[in-house]
């Protein structure tokens, strides 16, 4: 069922905005879950502003999606899904600059390849993270090499009231897999990313790290990366990091399935969609795993993805 009337569609649609009603959205998330809903593809910031203002006026809720690499889409959307397709020119990344202002649609894998080629120190932190720049900043994506938040100087945000705001980042802007500057309905449209100088060994660091990930993670399966955040708990007065994957593995839950969803036999913190699954199967498997972890270890793990 459509959330948008034909009158609203004709108000929103222009050469930079493409609307598909009741679209099959399974290909918009890396987990490829069954999902239908209204899709609005937007190719310019000015059109995005118009779209947001009309949706606000018409009281239609919306969410923005990047690569859908950390987005569990519900089976039937009760919000419009905005997919940003803002221009990104990789030729703007040259060795003589200390920082780059890039669109939120810039793909992280392209940034990683350029970092390897130019030796952009610091950019190795997002090696192997499938994401758009906007999604990675929203999630403060990171690896054991560091977090993207460390490299972000400024973020341009389209606030949900239609105002564009530039926000300078500081030491309180990010925490583990979280940002502290976006509110419901805000959309990152651009960001200034810095690097820590030129270091020709970065290419090798990236290559080695990619190899490590290929060996330890089910990268050919349909997943959304790590399902649970690692958590810190106090044991005998000491802070101990509890690694969700390790705990799930020790419980012997690798390979456990719910319908076509299963806990990856390769990496226990990943869940794989092996057929036709929806967010319901994901939730069932997540809830079961959370209960088991709490029962056996007394530790409550939170999901890294936002479940509907
Ligand atoms: C194989 C695999 C490996 C992964 N490994 C890692 C890893 O090592 N480290 C890690 O941190 N993550 C990892 N992930 C998860 C995922 O890649 C990251 O969370 C990434 O940041 C998601 O980016 P995205 O563009 O896909 O965002 P989406 O999944 O599309 O969106 C995530 C959230 O960000 C919001 N969002 C997206 N774009 C914007 C925007 N422009 N403005 C405001 N909000 C926005 C969405 O509304 C949503 O709430 C992995 C995923 C996969 C599939």
CATH code of the domain containing 134: 3.30.465.10
Average pLDDT estimate for 64-83: 97
CA angle 274, 75, 305 (to 5 degrees): 70
pLDDT for position 2:
85
> Is the per-residue pLDDT at 232 higher than 90?
no
Average pLDDT estimate for 116-129: 96
Which of 73, 85, 130 is the pocket-test mutation for ligand 1 (most atoms within 8 Å of CB)?
Answer: 130
Domain contains 307? no
Average pLDDT estimate for 111-127: 96
Residue 196 or 306, more confident: 196
Q: Determine the distance separating the centroid of ligand 1 and the alpha carbon of 73, expressed in angstroms.
A: 13
Ligand 1 binding pocket includes 141 (Cβ within 6 Å):
yes
Average pLDDT estimate for 208-215: 96
> Is the per-residue pLDDT at 306 higher than 90?
no
Cα–Cα distance, 139 to 69 (Å, whole number):
11
Domain contains 211? no
Query: pLDDT-based confidence at 237, cuts 50/70/90?
Result: confident
Ligand 1 binding pocket includes 142 (Cβ within 6 Å):
yes
- Residue 51 Rama label (left phi>0; alpha psi -120 to 50; beta): alpha
Which of 88, 135, 303 is the pocket-test mutation for ligand 1 (most atoms within 8 Å of CB)?
Answer: 135
Query: pLDDT-based confidence at 240, cuts 50/70/90?
Result: confident
Cα–Cα distance, 172 to 166 (Å, whole number):
16
Percent of the chain clearing pLDDT 70 (strictly above): 100
Ligand 1, residue 67: give the atom nearest the CA. Answer: 26
Yes or no: say if 148 and 142 are a contact pair by the CB < 8 Å rule: yes
> Is the per-residue pLDDT at 127 higher than 80?
yes
Q: Determine the distance separating the centroid of ligand 1 and the alpha carbon of 65, expressed in angstroms.
A: 9
Residue 270 or 231, more confident: 270
Cα–Cα distance, 101 to 96 (Å, whole number):
14
Domain contains 176? yes
Average pLDDT estimate for 70-94: 96
Domain that holds residue 249: 218-297
Are residues 200 and 98 both part of a single domain? yes
Q: 174, 204, 234: which is the final residue of a domain?
A: 204
Q: 204, 235, 265: which is the final residue of a domain?
A: 204
Domain contains 111? yes
Yes or no: say if 123 and 195 are a contact pair by the CB < 8 Å rule: yes
Ligand 1 binding pocket includes 225 (Cβ within 6 Å):
yes
pLDDT for position 42:
98
Ligand 1 binding pocket includes 251 (Cβ within 6 Å):
no
pLDDT for position 201:
97
Cα–Cα distance, 308 to 299 (Å, whole number):
23
Domain contains 308? no
> Is the per-residue pLDDT at 205 higher than 90?
yes
Number of domains present in the structure of the chain: 3
Closest residue by Cα to atom 50, ligand 1, is: 225
Kindly report the three-state secondary structure assignment for every residue of the chain. Answer: CCCCCHHHHHHHCECCEEEEEEEECHHHCCCCCCCEEEEEEECCHHHHHHHHHHHHHCCCCEEEECCCCCECCCCECCCEEEEECCCCCHHHCCCCCCEEEEECCCEHHHHHHHHHHHCECCHHHHCCCCCEHHHHHHHCCEECCEEHHHHEEEEEEECCCCCEEEEECCCCCEECCEECCCCCCCEEEEEEEECCCECCCHHHHHHHHHHHHHHHCCCCCCCCCECECCEEEEECCEEEEECHHHHHHHCCCCCCEECCEEECCCCCCEEEECCCCCHHHHHHHHHHHHHHHHHHHCCCCCECCECC
Q: Determine the distance separating the centroid of ligand 1 and the alpha carbon of 130, expressed in angstroms.
A: 7
Tokens of 23: 């679209």
Cα–Cα distance, 137 to 147 (Å, whole number):
9
Ligand 1 binding pocket includes 130 (Cβ within 6 Å):
yes
Closest residue by Cα to atom 9, ligand 1, is: 142
Domain contains 146? yes
Ligand 1 binding pocket includes 224 (Cβ within 6 Å):
yes
Domain contains 291? yes
The average confidence (pLDDT) of the chain is: 95
Ligand 1 binding pocket includes 256 (Cβ within 6 Å):
no
Residue with tokens 């938040």: 149
Cα–Cα distance, 181 to 58 (Å, whole number):
26
Yes or no: say if 108 and 70 are a contact pair by the CB < 8 Å rule: no
> Is the per-residue pLDDT at 1 higher than 80?
no
> Is the per-residue pLDDT at 241 higher than 90?
no
CATH number for position 229? 3.90.78.10
Q: Determine the distance separating the centroid of ligand 1 and the alpha carbon of 135, expressed in angstroms.
A: 5
Query: pLDDT-based confidence at 92, cuts 50/70/90?
Result: very high
Ligand 1, residue 139: give the atom nearest the CA. Answer: 21
């Amino acid at each position: 069922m459509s959330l948008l009337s034909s009158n609203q569609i004709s108000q929103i649609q222009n050469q930079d905005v493409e609307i598909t009603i009741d679209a099959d959205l399974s290909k918009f998330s890396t987990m490829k879950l069954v999902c239908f809903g209204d899709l609005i593809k937007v190719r310019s910031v000015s059109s995005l502003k118009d779209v947001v203002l009309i949706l606000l006026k018409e009281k239609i809720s919306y969410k923005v999606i990047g690569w859908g690499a950390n987005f569990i889409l519900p089976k039937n959307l009760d919000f419009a899904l905005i997919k940003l397709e803002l221009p990104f020119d990789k030729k703007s990344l040259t060795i003589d600059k200390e920082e780059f202002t890039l669109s939120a649609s810039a793909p992280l894998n392209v940034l990683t390849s350029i970092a390897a080629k130019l030796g952009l120190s610091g950019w190795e932190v997002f090696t192997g993270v499938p994401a758009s720049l906007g999604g990675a900043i929203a999630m403060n994506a990171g690896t054991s090499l560091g977090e993207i938040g460390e490299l972000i100087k400024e973020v341009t945000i389209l606030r949900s009231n239609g105002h564009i705001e530039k926000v300078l980042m500081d030491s309180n802007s990010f925490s583990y897999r979280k940002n502290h500057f976006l509110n419901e309905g805000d959309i990152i449209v651009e960001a200034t990313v810095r690097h820590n100088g030129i270091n020709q060994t970065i290419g090798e660091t990236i290559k080695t790290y990619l190899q490590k990930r290929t060996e330890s993670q089910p990268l050919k399966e349909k997943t959304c990366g790590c399902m649970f955040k690692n958590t810190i708990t106090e044991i005998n007065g000491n802070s101990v990091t509890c690694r969700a994957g390790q705990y799930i593995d020790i419980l012997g839950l690798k390979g456990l399935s719910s319908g076509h969803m299963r806990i990856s036999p390769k990496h226990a913190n990943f869940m794989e969609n092996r057929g036709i699954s929806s967010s319901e199967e994901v939730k069932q498997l997540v809830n079961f795993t959370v209960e088991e972890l709490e029962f056996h270890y007394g530790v409550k793990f939170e999901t890294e993805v936002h479940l509907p």
